[in-house]
Amino acid sequence: MGICIHYKGKLTSKDILPQMIEEVKYVAIAQKWEYNIFEEKFSEADYGKETFNEDLFGISFSPEECEPVCLTFLSNGAMVSIISWHIRFNLKDDSELNEYVSVKTQFAGPSTHKHIVLFLEYLSKNILKNLNLRMKRNIGKQKMRGFLRKNLNFLQE
C-alpha cells in the first residue's frame, strides 16, 4: 500500500506566482529540501485561457525519501504535475491531464507527510484557492497522525 497525498487547486491570481515561489523556496531551504524553479511569470495573453502551451510555471520541492511536491502550473494557470506535463509535451501523448497532483510520502515518514499537508493548507490561505486535498483511505485530519504512525511504523523497523 502506498501513502499518497492528492491535491488540486488554483492560484488566487497570476500575479501571486513569484510570491508563492519565494515562500516555497524559503521553506525548502530551511528544511534542506532540493527544489526546482520553473518559469516565474505568466503571460497576460495565456493565463486564464482554455488552451495552454508547453511552458511550465512554479516550483517543486523534494523532501528526503519522498516524491517531488509540485506547485507547478500550465501557461493557462491550471495546476499540473511535472510527470503529467512531461508525458504531454515530451512524450507527445495527447491524453487528458490528470486533474489531481499526487505525491507518494510512504517512505518519508509521518512527520514529512504531516508537514506537506500543513504546508499546502498554509498556502491555501492566501496563495492557492479551491485547494482540495485527498489522502489515500480518505481519513480525517484528526485521524491522520495515528493512521500514519500505524501504517508507516513497519518502514521504521
Using alpha carbons only, give the angle 135, 42, 83 rounded to the nearest 5 degrees: 40
Instruction: Supply the pLDDT for residue 39.
Output: 96
Query: What's the predicted TM-score (pTM) here?
Result: 0.81
Domain range summary for the chain, segments of one domain joined by +: 4-156
What does the pLDDT look like over 32-80, one tens digit per residue? 999 999 999 998 888 988 888 889 999 999 999 999 999 999 998 989 9
Q: pLDDT-derived band of residue 83, with 50, 70 and 90 as boundaries?
A: confident
* pLDDT, position 134: 87
Burial of 80 (0-12, 13-18, 19+ CB in 10 A): buried
Query: Which of the four pLDDT bands, split at 50, 70 and 90, describes residue 1?
Result: very low
